[in-house]
Amino acid sequence: MQPQQARILAGFYFFYFAFVGAFSPYWGLYLQSLQFSAWQIGILMSLTQIMRIFAPNVWGWVADRTSKRGRIIRLAALISLLSYAGIFIGNGFSVLLVALASMSFFWSASLPLVEAITLSLLGRQTSGYSRIRLWGSVGFVVASVSIGHLLERVGVQYLPATVLLLMAGIAVYAWWIPESPASAHATDSGRLGDILRQPAVIALFAACFFMALAHGPYYTFYSIHLAEYGYSKSSIGYLWSIGVIAEIIAFALMQRIIAALGLRTLFLLGLLLAGLRFLVIAWLADSIVLMLLAQVLHAATFGTHHAASIALIHRFFQGRHQAKGQALYISASFGLGGTLGGLATGALWGSLGAGWIFTLAALSAGAGLLVAQRWLKC
């Protein structure tokens, strides 16, 4: 990979996850300020995950058929920006539903294609992925901390305009994403169905689904959970950023970690620590020290887990199946798992409460651990 290509990809990751750093911690608080119910908040916060079920597979199939990944990324980034601008028409539930659904459909198209391009340009040096991807984590930290302070001063009503600027940054860097057609590989003659029927692949997708399901409450109601315990917006932003700082450190050390533990062990360890993390969040949120420790575990429950998942997907899906493999991973995990986690949280939050919701999240991570331990052989 050329240095200029690495810088462009790093810039895209920075703004893509800066958007997530603005959206995930604070959008629920913004919706709460508009007097939406927990069920409505759960629906609106889950739209990005819902679209990840379908959109990545559509765009992944088109990209692998046309070998025009960069062109699709540019088109998706532009339309997602225009779609998001629709929220300024009004702040009713229907307006936000349509605007965010359209935005999410095109926004979710970009990431699996950029992942495929990054890994394709790296060739056999897949360990270099983490050094580029960590800039996404840097973007998340910068956005979550700075926006937390901004909202403390000017109010949460300025969040939509701030997010619009970040989406514009995504569109700018998407324009320069290099083309990288799928390289020929010995598995090109094989069928996608043959890969998907492998027990190890089924176990991988199932475990990723359970891990994303476990994170559903975290990404939709974690900030509201902390606010109910009296945490300020800036404190909430710091807690989010600490998790991602830990993630950055994990990405920076990923090559050594993988060499020391191996992909399978790393994958299993992330699931185990996720169960512990969500139990702490469930019942010990009044302790700032334990919340800090729980956020440090984000290095394992997302950082190392995601890196191991990406590497395993790249191992199973090669050649012309690369983009489809990454799309299926996004759909099964962040899409289906994240959607069900977010919607279930919105539906059950009022009746079960935060403690039992996050306990169920821990049990979901445990289910993923059992599946991977039994069938993920690689």
User: In the predicted model, is pLDDT for residue 161 greater than 60?
Assistant: yes
Arithmetic mean of pLDDT over the chain: 89
Give the pLDDT confidence of 173-223 residue by residue, as tens digits. Answer: 999 998 765 555 444 546 888 999 999 999 999 999 999 999 999 988 898
Q: In angstroms, rounded to a whole number, what is the distance separating the alpha carbons of residues 279 and 217?
A: 12
3-class secondary structure, 182: coil
Alpha helical stretches, state H, 34-92:
38-66, 69-84
Give the pLDDT confidence of 47-86 residue by residue, as tens digits. Answer: 887 888 888 888 877 877 777 888 899 999 999 999 999 9
| Domains detected in the chain | 3-180+193-375 (1.20.1250.20)
Q: What tokens were used for 69?
A: 């990944």
- Of 220 and 226, more confident: 226
Three-state secondary structure of 215-248? HHHHHHHHHHHHHHCCCCHHHHHHHHHHHHHHHH
Query: Please, are residues 221 and 357 in contact by the beta-carbon 8 Å criterion?
Result: yes
Distance of CA 178 to the CA centre of its chain: 23
**pLDDT over 90, % of the chain:** 54
Quick one: pLDDT at residue 189? 47
Distance of CA 358 to the CA centre of its chain: 19
| pLDDT band of 375, cuts 50, 70, 90 | very high
Give the pLDDT confidence of 120-151 residue by residue, as tens digits. Answer: 888 767 667 888 989 998 998 899 889 988 98
Quick one: pLDDT at residue 182? 55
Quick one: pLDDT at residue 374? 96
3-class secondary structure, 297: coil
Q: In angstroms, rounded to a whole number, what is the distance separating the alpha carbons of residues 240 and 223?
A: 9
54 C-beta neighbours (distance < 10 Å), count? 15
Give the pLDDT confidence of 312-348 residue by residue, as tens digits. Answer: 998 898 777 777 888 889 888 988 998 899 889 988 9
Model pTM score: 0.79
Residue type, 306: H
Q: Which of 367, 371, 33 is nearest to 224 (CA)?
A: 33
Q: What is the mean pLDDT of residues 95-121?
A: 89
Query: Please, are residues 296 and 246 in contact by the beta-carbon 8 Å criterion?
Result: yes
Q: What is the mean pLDDT of residues 222-227?
A: 92
Q: In angstroms, rounded to a whole number, what is the distance separating the alpha carbons of residues 358 and 118?
A: 34
Residue 299 is given by DSSP the state I
Q: What is the mean pLDDT of residues 256-279?
A: 95
